[in-house]
Structure 1
Amino acid sequence: MWYETVEGTDIVVLDRRFKACFAGHVRVERLWTGARWCEGPAWFAAGRYLIWSDIPNNRMLRLADPGDQISVFRENSNNSNGNTVDNQGRLVTCEHRSRRVTRTEIDGSITVLADRWQGRRLNSPNDLVVKSDDSVWFTDPAYGIDGDYEGDKQEPEIEGCHVYRIDPKSGAVERVIDDMVRPNGLAFSPDETLLYVADTGATHVEDGPRHIRRFAVGADGRSLAGGEIFAACSEGLFDGFRLDTEGRIWTSTGEGVHCYDPDGTLIGKVLIPEMVANVTFGGVKLNRLFICGTTSLYSVYLMAKGCKPG
């Protein structure tokens, strides 16, 4: 496997707290290029591999560690977008074209977890996270049905774009957030007392939201309160993001990855020479940040660790 130092990449320290996240000699590496729109990276610890989506090319790709060898994991992926790993080590995926959330079983078969809410088809599930109680939380903007580039142009059946929860026992789909324009990336804090959700409504509404909101999770593990703005994006839009064990948010932006302290301070940046859509933590120690740029996959080693695989 070849590695290269990429022109236009840099680690920018805005606050001394960010400097502690890196060894002094670390650089950003470009691992592969050749996609149209990279998204949804998910790390599978048992197999030591990364899976991510190339949405317009209707495929999913795989990086195997050690060696960082790249191969096609799945063709005809229904224009898959977000991916994650559940608590049993299975792949869970948001599919634009089929307008559903699916789980790939250990034998390779696919189970549909959600494709409707109150009898109406979902818009185009975008990103998702699995909680420790096995519930699946996902966002459902309409990017996959707005046109034919990331799915199939279709009419929405649900008014608005919302956030949903799939109950782990009954499989019931419950709407948990209904006041966003275009909900996108989402993740829980390490102790799961907080849920962060990005709203990329500025893509469709003039002066629309380009921020991450923070919700308090109730004692029942499913109800939400609050929803205040945690951070506003200064470069493009927030899309997908992940948290480390210290509660720092590592989020995609138009210029790379921004890192926020739990107190909301932007403490540093990892500059990438193209728009970034999503990130995840991987590697044996969960200290390698994988970065999905528009056309390429990047990584950088950290002194920080992801709070969970996927």
Structure 2
Amino acid sequence: MLDPCFEVLDKRFASYVMGNVHIDVLASDIGLRWSEGPVWFGDGRYLLWSDIPNNRIMRWDETDGSVSVYRNPSNHTNGHTRDRQGRLVSCEHGGRRVSRTEYDGRVTVLADSHNGKRLNSPNDVVVKSDDTVWFTDPSYGILSEYEGHQSELEQDGCHVYRFDPTSGALKTVATDFVKPNGLAFSPDEKLLYIADTGASHDPDGPKHIRRFQVRDDGTLAGGEVFADCTAGLFDGFRVDHHGNIWTSAADGVHCYTPDGTLIGKIKVPEVVANVCFGGVKKNRLFICATTSLRAVYLNTRGVQTP
């Protein structure tokens, strides 16, 4: 019998969940204010995630279950990923930049301006197999002092960018978003999914995920709406090796098939901001909820960098 946390809306979802598992609470009651940006380090068997308002990056150790502070202050980091060399790549609200943590702990700035003007507040980031860094740049980190530093918008909008670490070129790939947020590639990297959370500040704004075709030259085509959120807003999300999208929502985690069908939910008693796959077999979904870090084993594996 399935745990009540699983809500099956389509029989396809039943093949990804198991009756002998439940959601584990890995961290709570430690003063978390807005958990975000989980990233798995399989070589060290630990997970990092952001606690944006508290200006710190947290660390959970799989070997002993311990929780500690990895970096404080963190420049109000939000989304994280790893590049193909295993280095941490972070979006910093406070620094209004995308940075990379080198093997020796030094922090390198990858991108902090476009056309001579500061970025807004990079939000979420993914790295493609060609080493290019793709990130979203809404204005959440400069709207108040809570998740960054209140400041004026310098760009002409909130865009999606592609950074080439070889040439150092930073280019916009999508400029028709209100508040671009989470993003992820399909397993074959031929598609890029990007969330728009414009409804966060405009009741009539978008609350959906769009789907783009990725051209060989690094530009995007298409951009049709893939799915509309049925509970709150989509934020961060990840894709499994079947091409399913596991996305955050107000009532937990929603699972969409590649054809755009909502097939099931993992119910969580807090608003979920982001997720990532990890664990030894990449079959454990880590869930950043508002004041907690949770995880659940699934019968699928994630698609992600090392």
* TM-score normalised by structure 2 residue count: 0.97
Poorly superposed stretches of 4+, deviation over 2 Å: none
Give the distance between the partners of 2:112 and 2:305, measured in 1 at CA.
25
Q: Secondary structure at the match of 1:17?
A: helix
Residue 21 of structure 2: aligned partner: 26
The separation in 1 between residues aligned to 2:160 and 2:15, in whole angstroms, is 34
Match of 2:171 in 1: 174
- Computed over aligned residues only, the root mean square deviation of the Cα atoms, in angstroms, reads 1.1
- Deviates most, 167-176 or 82-91: 167-176
Q: Is the Cα contact below 8 Å between 1:133 and 1:168 reproduced in 2?
A: no
Partner deviation per Cα, 1:164-211 (whole Å, 9 max, x = no partner): 000131111100000000000000000000000000000122310000
Alpha-carbon distance in structure 2 between the residues aligned to 1:261 and 1:66? 33
Is structure 2 residue 67 aligned with structure 1 residue 86? no
- C-alpha separation between the residues in 1 aligned to 2:97 and 2:135? 10
- State the partner residue of 1:265: 261
Matches within 5 A, 1:118-267: 118-220=115-217, 222-267=218-263
Q: Deviations over 1:89-135 (max 9, x none)?
A: 00000000110000000000000000000110000000000000000
- Which residue number in structure 1 is paired with residue 298 of structure 2? 302
How far, CA to CA, are the matches of 1:278 and 1:209 in structure 2?
A: 18
Q: Displacement, 1:9?
A: 6.5
Match of 1:72 among 66, 69, 92: 69
CA distance in 2: counterparts of 1:204 and 1:174, whole angstroms: 26
Question: What amino acid is the match of 1:12?
Answer: E
Aligned partner of 2:262: which letter?
L
Residue 64 of structure 1 deviates from its aligned partner by 1.0
String of CA shifts for 1:28-52, please: whole Å, max 9, x gaps: 1111113000000000111111000
**Aligned with 1:99 (options 96, 100, 105):** 96
* SS at structure 2 position matched to 1:178: strand
Pair 1:58-2:40 in alignment = no
Flag structure 1 segments of 5+ consecutive residues without an equivalent. 1-7
Compute the displacement of 1:307 (Å).
1.2
Deviation at 1:295, TM superposition (A): 0.3
Task: Find the aligned partners of 1:13 and 1:55 in 2 and give their Cα distance.
Answer: 32
Matched, 1:16 2:19: no
Instruction: Note if contact 2:127-2:305 (Cα within 8 Å) is conserved in structure 1.
Output: no
Q: Is the 1:196–1:215 Cα contact (8 Å) retained in structure 2? A: yes
